[in-house]
């Protein structure tokens, strides 16, 4: 896992080349909505891109996770399916249903059944390098490929290319400092239940962090967003006292946070610190929201790696997922 995290910027650079070289024919019919689908480490890129494009694309952009797809899918839908392995059963089922709806489909995969399906039915696809046992560590390939798909279908401009190049340079230059910060934060998370709070705009980023703690550190974590949690969860900060005392609140910040949300977070700081411990503040760095996402992805990936070391656990295996898939295979 360490080498995979270290290779994040190389992944971004290679993904840019793949995205610029791919030949995606623009849809024959006008696109009225975008639906992205994918599970786990392959699918979180869709959530991140959905957040990045919020308010910037004049048509609805949504994410669907699971076997089924919404009723609105039609020939006017740009349907982007993400599966690193190409064998994710939920995503394959969704693609088959989108084909029946005659949606404009783009597959992002390294191979497997999805690539076979794309070739057999002349679906458009972006093929990323195969061979990694950890789809969650291929976030650079999946995320940039999603942006490339939107670019080639005239839904976003080319700004993401320069912003990605800027991030590669920035992250490479600051790698040692990022790892050092991650290691310090990880020590504070040992034996704690991480509770990650942020502005709703960063929700997908918080979920990515949670997922990495789950899979790499084999540790539970909780996520919620401001201002929504101010209307419910905040009242729950009373019991169970033993769990609250073992919790560690983490605030994720970007300079795209709503100013009223920033005020809410500061007011709530007193409530959380009274019942747990001092909040860990993680502030995104970068000139654009995309650059800040790349920074947070890289930093929190390192945090999850160092928490795994604190837990004295190998970050690579995902035994519970393997067990589940093996048991499901017996039923088919």
* Contact yes or no for 134/106 (Cβ under 8 A): no
| Positions of E strands within the chain | 33-38, 61-64, 77-83, 104-109, 124-127, 193-199, 222-226, 247-253, 280-283
Residue 152 CB contacts under 8 Å (≥ 6 apart), including other chains: 22, 24, 26
Tokens 């230059």 belong to residue: 173
CA atoms of 186 and 189, how far apart (whole Å): 5
CA atoms of 294 and 10, how far apart (whole Å): 13
Considering all CA atoms of the chain, what is the largest pairwise distance in Å, rounded to the nearest integer? 60
How many CB atoms lie under 10 A from the CB of residue 177?
A: 10
Kindly name the residue from 50, 90, 163, 215 that is annotated as catalytic: 215
Known catalytic residue at 215: yes
Q: 212 vs 37, 97, 116, CA distance in Å?
A: 19, 30, 30
- Is the torsion defined by CA of 76, 81, 86, 91 positive or negative? negative
Kindly name the residue from 176, 231, 274, 330 that is annotated as catalytic: 231
Burial 91-116 (b: 16+ CB within 10 A, else e): bbebbebbeebebbbbbbbbbbbbbe
Kindly name the residue from 119, 258, 263, 325 that is annotated as catalytic: 325
Packed helices 203-216 and 40-53: angle between N→C axes, nearest 10 degrees: 160
Known catalytic residue at 3: no
CA atoms of 15 and 139, how far apart (whole Å): 10
Structure tokens at 222: 């909780």
Instruction: Give the residue numbers annotated as catalytic, written as ranges.
Output: 215, 231, 325
């Amino acid at each position: 896992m360490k080498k995979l995290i270290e290779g994040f910027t190389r992944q971004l650079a290679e993904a840019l080349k793949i995205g610029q070289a791919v030949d995606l024919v623009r849809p024959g019919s006008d696109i009225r909505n975008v639906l992205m689908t994918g599970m786990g480490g392959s699918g979180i890129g869709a959530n991140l891109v959905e957040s990045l494009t919020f308010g910037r694309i004049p048509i609805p952009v949504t994410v669907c996770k699971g076997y089924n797809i919404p009723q609105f899918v039609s020939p006017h839908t740009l349907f982007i399916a993400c599966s690193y392995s190409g064998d994710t059963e939920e995503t394959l089922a969704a693609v088959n249903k989108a084909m029946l709806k005659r949606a404009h489909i783009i597959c992002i995969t390294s191979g497997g059944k999805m690539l076979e399906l794309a070739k057999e039915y002349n679906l458009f696809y972006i093929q990323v390098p195969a061979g990694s046992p950890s789809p969650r560590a291929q976030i650079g390939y999946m995320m940039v490929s999603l942006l490339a798909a939107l670019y080639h279908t005239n839904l976003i401009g080319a700004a993401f290319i320069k912003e990605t190049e800027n991030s590669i340079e920035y992250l490479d230059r600051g790698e040692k400092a990022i790892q050092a910060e991650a290691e310090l934060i990880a020590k504070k998370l040992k034996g704690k239940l991480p509770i990650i709070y942020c502005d709703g705009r960063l929700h997908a980023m918080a979920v990515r962090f949670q997922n990495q703690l789950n899979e790499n550190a084999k540790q539970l974590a909780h996520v919620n967003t401001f201002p929504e949690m101010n209307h419910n969860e905040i009242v729950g900060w009373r019991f169970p006292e033993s769990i609250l005392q073992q919790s560690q609140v983490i605030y994720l910040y970007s300079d795209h946070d709503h100013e009223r949300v920033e005020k809410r977070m500061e007011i709530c700081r007193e409530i959380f610190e009274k019942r747990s411990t001092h909040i860990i503040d993680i502030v995104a760095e970068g000139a654009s929201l995309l650059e800040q996402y790349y920074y947070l992805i890289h930093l929190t990936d390192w945090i999850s790696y160092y928490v795994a070391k604190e837990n004295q656990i190998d970050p690579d295996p995902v035994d519970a997922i393997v067990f589940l898939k093996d048991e499901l295979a017996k039923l088919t």
